[in-house]
Structure 1
């Protein structure tokens, strides 16, 4: 049995003894557990059945006895650190619109930014992200129609065979960048889709909105 667990069991036994008759039942009722669970928590004999005390139960005991159990402060601090690290990895991304995975087309809606839904994602890394719903099948090998793509507007450097959202005079499309010759290429099971050829890479750089970081489809 670990030293801290032993300290907590002794502390609990002392608190129950000080409270007197009926304390075990009252504490069990306060914590929402069975009375025999309290008995296992106070068992100091390693050869007999015992039960570890959870953080939530330690907090409940502190409220019940109006005294802080050993290790509670440290456990709270550790739990907060874990929660903060987890929350720091979560990126909330606005779902702004649909993006055609076909010919260049105007977005379907123009909602104010404060009225759009937010999606939460883990481990996106640094960036300026937006989410778009795919319309059409010209990129269905990686993003079927109705899937959602996460676009990093902070990443506008064109890399061969990577997916981007492009905008030309207010009309948008979702395509692969191919440098030789310069073109916006589909990645589709539908042979009807053809690439859009450009004169130079600079023309594509003026059109790029951001690189597609992630694609997913809810079933």
Structure 2
């Protein structure tokens, strides 16, 4: 994992911030520290003014929702999979989050609906579908903060945009942190932090960083080449 240094930022409820950086820049390390996967650091991480080291894992779990890039779905119905996010979630709540991630119609068209059975290792779903179900499971939870950890990577641009717009609407009064490698994923955030070699090398909105942050400019250029303009 990358070693982080001189990282400082606040995330308030009602704000969407984003962290962008290439592979190995330190994004994953930052998330692991925020989820208290390890405590080996100097400095302070607080949630609602409480030092993270004074909180139990359960308290952290009730404060922040982490939606990882790697999806963990078990063999069982779609209802059972989403209820791991919220035990007593009603069918209405489940349909709401499935619609937000553009998966509601997919399950409505099946005979089983919410009883649709997810096979072992979710082999009967595509990578993008699995990611969207994982996002839905995070959205059904009620916490103050949400960390979307590179979890849009398997979605095409138009689907991702619709999902992000739905998230923005639902979580408008929450603190949202989006971790990504794609500029298109972060460009609408209130503030973007650019991480390179474990430190913040740029801070600002998309337009500001596009004008004055070299690393951000390089990311844009490389993605324009790959996407042929998709990251504009």
Please, what TM-score do these two structures have when normalized by structure 1?
0.24
| Structure possessing the higher relative contact order (Cα contacts under 8 Å, 6 or more residues apart) | 2
Structure with greater Cα Rg = 1
Structure in which a larger fraction of residues adopt strand: 1
Structure in which a larger fraction of residues adopt helix: 2
